[in-house]
Amino acid sequence: MWQEVGDAVDRHQRFVISSHITPDGDAVGSVVGLGEYLRGRDKEVLALLPDPAPAMFAFLDAEKTIQVYDPADHLGTIKQAEVWFCLDFTGPVRMGRLADAMPEFTGTLISIDHHTSPEEFAAISVGDSTAAATSALIAEFLEWAGAEWTDCMVTALYGGLVSDTGNFQYSNATARAFGIAGRLVDRGADPGEVYRRIYEIWSWPRLRLLGEVINRLELICRGRVAITTVSQSLLQRTGTTIQDLESFINYGRMVEGVEVSVVISELGPQKCKASFRSNGTVDVAAVARSLGGGGHRNAAGSPLELPLDQGRIRVEEVLQGAFSKPDVGNQP
């Protein structure tokens, strides 16, 4: 599956590599890992993201090779590029502002991704939804290509894999993922250090926000649902942003007897967002769908065109309804 990609790398000199809006560790790790490899082969590489990467993933790009897209700085290079690698996203809608540059590009588009239902937008597509992360796919490509490994490459790819598997806790932490991780550790990736950098270094405002969020946690539906709300004023008071809420939803689910954890965050005066996590017995995608959202059985969400307090009332109504059904929790 890598021959076409390998041929494109061999034949060309000028590359663009980009990933998706609201970049995560896999976006950063896969872009840096592939970029390092191409630079090691004396290729010209422009690595772009449509938005800045979160601070917790900055260490994956130790040499600061990734730039945030700015047409004034980058459009000329994009026009001259021969190959554009699109990593870790299914289609142009996930490219944000970078999608505007697409019509200017006349070379070969290559997509490498592990999400389900990819769009056909690239000339060469490697789509493997059984792969744990795009970083894992890049690692497999570099193994196929016989890459000379550098510390920067193995750390970036290992970090991407850790980020997308929740440090090897999600269901995508397969034997294949552990195999790739093991080989990256063999080549110098440091699991303790990567874990510490991603999960154990928090800003003081973020830790204070967590305290406030936990203080506001309430149990409803006879203890089966933990629910909390986060207002803009709380974010302002603690000096945090909505991104700092990442993973906070897991705390409600830790409470014994809780089956669903809900965080409702205020986005604006008439706009909030409900996020749901289930421990597996309740299909929260169905709950989210009834509010106009969607997602997976165990992780789902929905936008709500309501003020925060009314959004919460609406969510509670839907949950009370879901938990009053006799068969809830017994669905396959």
Contact between 26 and Mn ion by CB under 5 A: the answer reads yes
Q: Which two tokens stand for residue 50?
A: 């449509």
Question: Which residue among 36, 61, 140, 164 contacts Mn ion (CB under 5 A)?
Answer: 164
- Residue 80: in which H helix or E strand, if any? helix 71-80
Are 28 and 50 in contact, with CB atoms under 8 Å apart? no
Is residue 4 within 8 A of residue 70, CB to CB? The reply is no
Sign of CA dihedral 169, 31, 134, 301: positive
* Of 19 and 298, CB closest to Mn ion: 19
Does 88 help bind Mn ion (rule: CB under 5 A)? yes
CA trace torsion 230, 232, 236, 240 (10° rounding):
50
Q: Closest residue to Mn ion, Cβ-based?
A: 26
**Whole-angstrom Cα distance, residue 58 to residue 67?**
12
Of 133, 200, 198, which is closest to residue 170 (Cα–Cα)?
Answer: 133
DSSP one-letter code for 149: P
CB of 320 to Mn ion, least distance (A): 35
Residue 113 found at the interface with Mn ion (CB under 5 A): no
Cβ closest to Mn ion, residue 26 vs residue 259: 26
Task: Give least dist CB 199 to Mn ion, A.
Answer: 17
Cα gap 251→216, rounded to integer Å: 12
Instruction: State which residue, 26 or 244, has the beta carbon closest to Mn ion.
Output: 26
Smallest distance, Mn ion to C-beta of residue 114, A: 6
Residue range at the interface with Mn ion (CB under 5 A); choices 37-45, 76-84, 102-110, 132-140: 132-140
Region from 71-79, 86-94, 245-253, 259-267 binding Mn ion, contact rule CB under 5 A: 86-94
Count of residues that bind Mn ion according to CB under 5 A: 5
Indicate the residue among 49 and 308 with the shorter CB distance to Mn ion: 49
Q: Whole-number minimum distance, CB 209 to Mn ion, in Å? A: 26
Nearer to Mn ion, 133 or 284 (CB): 133
Rounded Cα–Cα distance for residues 298 and 284 (Å): 6
Residues that bind Mn ion (CB under 5 A): 26, 88, 133-134, 164
